[in-house]
């Protein structure tokens, strides 16, 4: 037993070979070197990340500040005038209602302006109150509603008809009917009301005129709230 202990003590006390010590020191220097490289790499990555994120923010702010300048350069006088003209077209219209008076059985409907109007140089009502004159060439939407009412017996059967007629300076001849509405009604009571509505889209030239004729002029309801019952509306129409 004593011999074994002495051998172990002799082994433990033997010095480490010089070659092994040099190898250990070399490995240790390599570990330190790689650790330094890793730390330096991590630091470089962090620095690059910070600089990268700070740079786009500056660019974004500059872009936001420059955008209004570009818009102001594009919005010149021509652009403003075009927008004003488009807005003017959209809001331009004329609304007419039938005049009161003693009329014959057939003839042209006399009109008067009803409510607030915004012509903007598109329409004018002639002095005869029967002709609506077009001042600008273009496409127009024309709407007509006439309300008739009975005041006496007509054998129970009445034929109603009204026409929107087109007069043009470009040709000589009779007016051209744009819209015609016809209806036969049978009433058992002499007191009745009937509204007839027609509408269309037409291309009109400068100085063209629109007139409405009816075979029952004396039966047009020009009483209370006639502005809602009998109306003639025209406005510029633009397809989308």
Q: In this predicted structure, what is the pLDDT of residue 88?
A: 53
Inside any domain, residue 13: yes
Residues 44 and 103 in one domain: no
Residues 58 and 99 in one domain: no
Residues 161 and 58 in one domain: no
Domain boundary among 40, 72, 104: 72
Inside any domain, residue 179: yes
Element (H, E) at 38: helix 18-74
Residues 155 and 226 in one domain: yes
Tokens of 213: 């004729």
Residues 133 and 206 in one domain: yes
Q: In this predicted structure, what is the pLDDT of residue 2?
A: 52
Residue ranges making up the domain that contains 19: 2-72
Inside any domain, residue 117: yes
Q: How many domains does the chain have?
A: 2
Q: What is the CATH number of the domain that holds 228?
A: 2.60.120.40
Inside any domain, residue 107: yes
Inside any domain, residue 114: yes
Place of tokens 């190898």: 23
Residues 53 and 154 in one domain: no
Domain boundary among 72, 105, 134: 72
Round to whole Å and give the CA distance between 107 and 163: 10
Domain boundary among 39, 72, 105: 72
- 210 Cβ neighbours under 8 A, 6+ residues apart: 131, 132, 134, 142, 164, 165, 166, 167, 178, 204, 234
Q: What is the pTM of this model?
A: 0.60
Inside any domain, residue 87: no
Place of tokens 């818009």: 71
Q: In this predicted structure, what is the pLDDT of residue 104?
A: 75
Q: In this predicted structure, what is the pLDDT of residue 215?
A: 92
Weakly modelled stretches of the chain, pLDDT under 50: 4, 8-12, 16, 56-82, 240
Round to whole Å and give the CA distance between 217 and 105: 5
Whether residue 202 contacts residue 166, with contact meaning beta carbons closer than 8 Å, is answered with yes
Q: In this predicted structure, what is the pLDDT of residue 59?
A: 42
Q: In this predicted structure, what is the pLDDT of residue 97?
A: 92
Q: In this predicted structure, what is the pLDDT of residue 14?
A: 52
Q: In this predicted structure, what is the pLDDT of residue 196?
A: 94
Residues 213 and 106 in one domain: yes
Inside any domain, residue 85: no
Residues 18 and 101 in one domain: no
Q: In this predicted structure, what is the pLDDT of residue 22?
A: 64
Q: In this predicted structure, what is the pLDDT of residue 201?
A: 95
- 114 Cβ neighbours under 8 A, 6+ residues apart: 95, 96, 97, 227, 231
Inside any domain, residue 215: yes
């Amino acid at each position: 037993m004593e011999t074994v202990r002495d051998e172990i003590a002799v082994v433990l006390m033997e010095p480490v070979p010089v070659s092994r010590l040099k190898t250990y020191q070399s490995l240790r220097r390599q570990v330190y070197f790689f650790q330094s490289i890793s730390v330096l790499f991590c630091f470089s990555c962090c620095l690059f990340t910070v600089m990268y994120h700070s740079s786009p923010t500056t660019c974004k702010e500059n872009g936001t500040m420059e955008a209004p300048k570009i818009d102001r350069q594009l919005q010149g006088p021509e652009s403003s005038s075009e927008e004003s003209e488009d807005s003017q077209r959209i809001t331009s219209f004329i609304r007419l209602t039938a005049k009161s008076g003693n009329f014959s059985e057939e003839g042209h409907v006399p009109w008067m302006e009803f409510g607030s109007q915004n012509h903007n140089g598109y329409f004018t009502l002639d002095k005869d109150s029967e002709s609506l004159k077009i001042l600008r060439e273009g496409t127009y939407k024309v709407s007509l509603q006439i309300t008739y009412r009975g005041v006496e017996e007509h054998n129970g059967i009445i034929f109603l008809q009204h026409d929107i007629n087109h007069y043009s300076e470009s040709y000589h001849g009779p007016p051209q009917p744009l819209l015609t509405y016809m209806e036969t009604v049978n009433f058992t009571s002499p007191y009745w009301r009937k509204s007839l509505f027609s509408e269309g889209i037409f291309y009109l030239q400068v100085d063209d005129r629109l007139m409405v004729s009816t075979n029952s002029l004396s039966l047009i309801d020009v009483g209370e709230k006639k502005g809602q019952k009998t109306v003639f509306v025209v406005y510029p129409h633009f397809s989308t």
